[in-house]
Amino acid sequence: MNDAVRTGRLSWRDARVLVTGGAGFIGSHLVDALVAADASVTVIDDLSTGRAENLATVRDQVRLLESDLAATIPSLSQEPPFDAVFHLAAAVGVELVLNDPVRAIEINVETTSALLRHLAAHGSPPTLVASSSEVYGKPGTSVFSEEDDSLYGSTTVTRWSYAHAKALDEHLALGYHSTRGLPTVVARFFNTVGPRQRGSYGMVLPRFVAAAMENHPIRVYGDGRQTRCFCDVRDVVPALLGLLASPACYGRVFNIGSDRPISIRELAEAVIGVTGSRSRIELVPYEDAYPSGFEDLRHRRPDLRRIRDAVGFEPHIPLEQTIRDIASELARERAGGAA
């Protein structure tokens, strides 16, 4: 095991790091940062939502196991223990969860349980478990703090199955820390955006940018006055590294995102303005956009005091820059496809 890890001063240089879901949107940016820090990185990803091309710039410097995580975990016992683990593999996206809730629950809970069980028995490396602002449910407040109570809708409303599953992931992570000695950190993501994100599973910003670049109508669900806070993945990744590098963060939960709200209609207007699009905004009732079982929240904003105190987190990349970078990436991909 890396000496810096053993002594409690986690250094990424030469550390053996596992990133599950490492070919995904957030995971691939995290892998880039770890490679830049001279870590030895293993990625496990079945590429169901991740993409091998997300790792193109570091492909020769990482070990990619293209496999289902649950099927791969038993083979990891034949290897030396990892020095650190980032568990980002999950069923993600509103549309995926609504269309196949059973698969989403099984992936998000059973696989997390199996991984934590393995890690506790093989070295107990510091482990970050990715969670979601969905765990707050609908608590009746617009600013969400880590110790707030959670309030979920009825189990007959499908979208809450994801919130329940991610909450169980958190209970597992915190339980393994308190009873099995596994150093865990839980990161609750709030609307992370940026290059490599795709709108295929309901992600709003890349969906808006893709429509704007084609001058197609931008479909805003509901009345568009619901607000969210969007944070660039390139601001998020350094915070993830900082959380797992600090033993003071183990056994704790941290919100991570921006705390600057914007309405979804304003987001669409910003996309049109930045891209110079001729798109018009089209309001679409929720019942016409999603299958039965969807319920939305009017406002969602994280309280960031805990993560600011812990690692000095502060988002810096403006939303307009994120929009430009997503548009530039889509333009390059389309030009490459046309060639």
Give the Cα separation of 96 and 162 in Å (integer).
Answer: 10
290 part of the active site:
no
CA nearest to 88, candidates 58, 56, 45: 45
Phi-psi region of 100 (alpha: psi -120 to 50; beta: other; left: phi over 0): beta
Q: Which residue in the list 162, 176, 221, 290 is annotated as catalytic?
A: 162
Structure tokens at 113: 């349980």
Structure tokens at 116: 């934590």
H-run or E-run covering 63: strand 62-65
> Which CB contacts under 8 angstroms, 24+ apart, belong to 235-238?
235/315, 235/316, 235/317, 236/26, 236/29, 236/189, 236/192, 237/26, 237/29, 237/30, 237/32, 237/33, 238/33
Give the Cα separation of 108 and 91 in Å (integer).
Answer: 6
Give the Cα separation of 58 and 93 in Å (integer).
Answer: 26
* Axis-axis angle for helices 204-213, 319-338 (nearest 10): 60
- Phi and psi torsions of 193, nearest 5°: -135, 165
Give the Cα separation of 133 and 190 in Å (integer).
Answer: 6
* Axis-axis angle for helices 233-245, 25-36 (nearest 10): 60
Structure tokens at 280: 């018009």
Q: Strand 143-144 to strand 301-302: parallel, antiparallel, or no bridges (unpaired)?
A: parallel
Cα 119 off chain centre by: 21
Give the Cα separation of 28 and 336 in Å (integer).
Answer: 21
Positions marked active-site: 162
